[in-house]
Amino acid sequence: MQSMIRRCQPLLGTFVEISLAGDRDEGDLHALASLAFSEIRRIDAALSFHRADSELSRINRHALDATQSISAAMSDVLGEAMLLSRESDGLFDVTIAPSLVRIGALPDHGYRTDIDACWHDIELEHDRVRFHRPLAIDLGGIAKGYAVDQAMHVIPDDVEVCINAGGDLRMRPWRHAEVAIRLPDPAAGAVIHVEMRNAALATSVGALGDHLGAIVHPRQGEVSRDASSFSVFAASAMRADALTKIACLAPDCAALMQGFGAEVLCIDAHGRVCKFETDTKPLQRIGT
C-alpha cells in the first residue's frame, strides 16, 4: 500500500522539508524522515561557523598552529571546496569568512586573519588540515547542500524522496519532475515552474537583503548587488550549492558549469529566464 508523508523542521538557518512516499506504512516513513533530520543536525553541528563548539570552529582556532584531524564530512566538503576553488581560479573561496564577519553576515569569534590569505594557504590531506597563513574558513556556501545529500543517503532506494532546505533541493526520482523557483523579489510572491534538470537544485540571489545571505567577491572584497537569482542543476546538492556562488559572480562561467556537468538558469526580478551558454540566450517562460 502506497503511503506518503511530509515533515518540516527549522534547521540550517532555514526550514527543511522532507517528503517521502513508498510501499511502506506511515510509521516506517516517519522513522526514515527522523533519521534524515538527525543526519542534517549532525552535519550542521560539525560544519557550522556560528557554533563555537563545532568542528569548523576548532579548525579555525587551531589549524594555523598545528595540523588538525578532521572528520569524513569535513574532508568531503573541504575537498570539494578546494576543487571548485582551483577550477574557478578562486571565485569560490572558503576563506571568505573575514569579509562576511566585517559586514556582519557572520559572528566575530576573534580569529586571527590575514587579508592576503586565500584557499591556496590551506593544506588538505585526507583526514588532516593545516593553515599556512592566519585565516578563517566558512562553509556556508556549500555545507547546506552537503547536508541535503547526506540526508538523502539514509533513505532507501525504494522510497521516493524530496528534500528541500530553503532552495537547496534534491529528489529521487527526478527525470519527469517539475520544480518551482521563486522570483528574486519576495514582494512579487510569484514563482516560475521549470522541469527538474538533474538530481539536485540550488538557488542563490546575488543581492544582499534582510531575507538573503551575502555573496562577496573573493578578489574584490565587494558584496554582490545583482538582484537576479541563479539556479544551478547538478548531480549533488553540495555541488549545486557551491556553483550558485560562482554563477552570481561570473556571468561568463558557462564553460566551467559544463565541465562540472551543471546547468544554470538566471532569473531576474521580472521573471525573465536566461540559460548560461556561450552567448546567453533567453529561455521560454514555462509557467507561473
Per-residue pLDDT of 157-169, as tens digits, reads 999 999 999 889 9
CA 94 – CA 142 distance, rounded (Å): 9
Q: What is the pLDDT of residue 101?
A: 93
- Which strands, in side-by-side order, build the sheet including 200-205? 3-11, 14-22, 160-165, 168-172, 200-205, 229-234, 263-267, 273-275, 281-282
Asked whether the predicted pLDDT for residue 281 surpasses 90, the reply is no
Q: What is the CA radius of gyration of the chain?
A: 19
Mean pLDDT, residues 74-89: 95
On average, the pLDDT of the chain sits at 87
Residues near 54 by beta carbon (within 8 Å), at least 6 away in sequence: 45, 46, 47, 48
The residue type at 52: A
> What interhelical angle do 237-249 and 72-87 show, nearest 10?
30
pLDDT, tens only, 191-228: 788 888 888 999 987 654 544 457 777 766 667 666 78
pLDDT, tens only, 240-261: 999 999 998 887 888 899 899 9
Using CA atoms in the order 247, 260, 202, 100, what is the torsion angle rounded to 10 degrees? -50
Q: Which cell goes with 115?
A: 587579508
Q: What is the pLDDT of residue 153?
A: 96
Give the H/E segment covering residue 223: none
Asked whether the predicted pLDDT for residue 4 surpasses 90, the reply is yes
Asked whether the predicted pLDDT for residue 286 surpasses 70, the reply is no
* Cβ neighbours of 231 (radius 10 Å): 24
* Cβ neighbours of 198 (radius 10 Å): 18
Residues near 144 by beta carbon (within 8 Å), at least 6 away in sequence: 12, 13, 14, 165, 166, 168, 237, 241
Query: CA-CA distances (angstroms) from residue 186 to 24, 180, 228?
Result: 38, 14, 12
Q: What is the pLDDT of residue 125?
A: 93
Bridge partners, 202 (sequence order):
232
Q: What is the pLDDT of residue 206?
A: 62
Query: CA-CA distances (angstroms) from residue 193 to 34, 179, 285?
Result: 29, 6, 8
229-234/200-205 β-pairing: antiparallel
What percent of the chain shows pLDDT beyond 70?
87
Asked whether the predicted pLDDT for residue 70 surpasses 70, the reply is yes
Q: What is the pLDDT of residue 205?
A: 79
What percent of the chain shows pLDDT beyond 90?
64
pLDDT, tens only, 92-134: 999 999 999 988 989 999 999 999 999 999 999 989 999 999 9
Residue among 9, 12, 36 nearest 241 (CA)? 12
* Cβ neighbours of 86 (radius 10 Å): 12
3 state DSSP class of 78: helix
